[in-house]
Amino acid sequence: MRIGCVFFDYDGVLTTDRTGSTTTYRFLSRHTGISLDRVSAALAKHNKALTLGLTSHENVWPQVCEDLGENVPLLLLQEAFDSTPINVAMFELAALLRHKCRVGIITDNKADRMRRLRIVQELDAHFDPIVVSAEVGNSKASPALFEHALAGVGLTAGQAVFIDNDARNVAVAALLGMNAIHFDDAVNDVSGLADRLRREYGFQLG
């Protein structure tokens, strides 16, 4: 069956940090002098609600600052988003694939973070669609987010490839019938992934 779209996870696949929280907590800790453990504890309790779009960083920020015992400017959070390190080799692979089929993103992520990254990393110039859990109200723990993505491109599950660094997400996509690939972010073997796409799905990538 011809592949009509390759979907990438964002953090840990298109970035070199395993999770977005890793990026954000590290930046905030370094720039406030507050320990990484305290930053993580203050923000992690809001992670699920933020990822499902039930709240925003702006809404939870007063509580975060109270827990940190410091009035941290919300602008610093935006700078933390901006610090997200892209996986250059993966972006290059996506660019090659874009000549063969649609290339999109399916990510469990915060709405405000992805809105910012769409601007600073020009994601819309590289990926379409960009499906964000907080905007849909479902995470990759449920088939619903994948079904939403497939409906958006008008494809069946078997016509799409999904690449993620979290094996749990890969399993959900596979159960739905998508061609799901686990990418080991610790190894970051992008050339090996490209070889697999050539071998298993017939992509001629040069």
Quote the CA–CA distance of 90 and 194 in Å, as a whole number.
9
Question: What average pLDDT does range 64-89 have in this prediction?
Answer: 98
pLDDT digits (tens, 9 = 90+) for 90-107: 999 999 999 999 999 999
pLDDT digits (tens, 9 = 90+) for 12-22: 999 999 999 99
> Residue 1 has what pLDDT?
76
pLDDT digits (tens, 9 = 90+) for 105-147: 999 999 999 999 999 999 999 999 999 999 999 999 999 999 9
pLDDT digits (tens, 9 = 90+) for 158-182: 999 999 999 999 999 999 999 999 9
Q: With contact defined as beta carbons under 8 Å apart, do 5 and 160 qualify?
A: yes
State the architecture of 5-17+85-201 in CATH terms: 3-Layer(aba) Sandwich (3.40)
The pLDDT of residue 205 is above 90: no
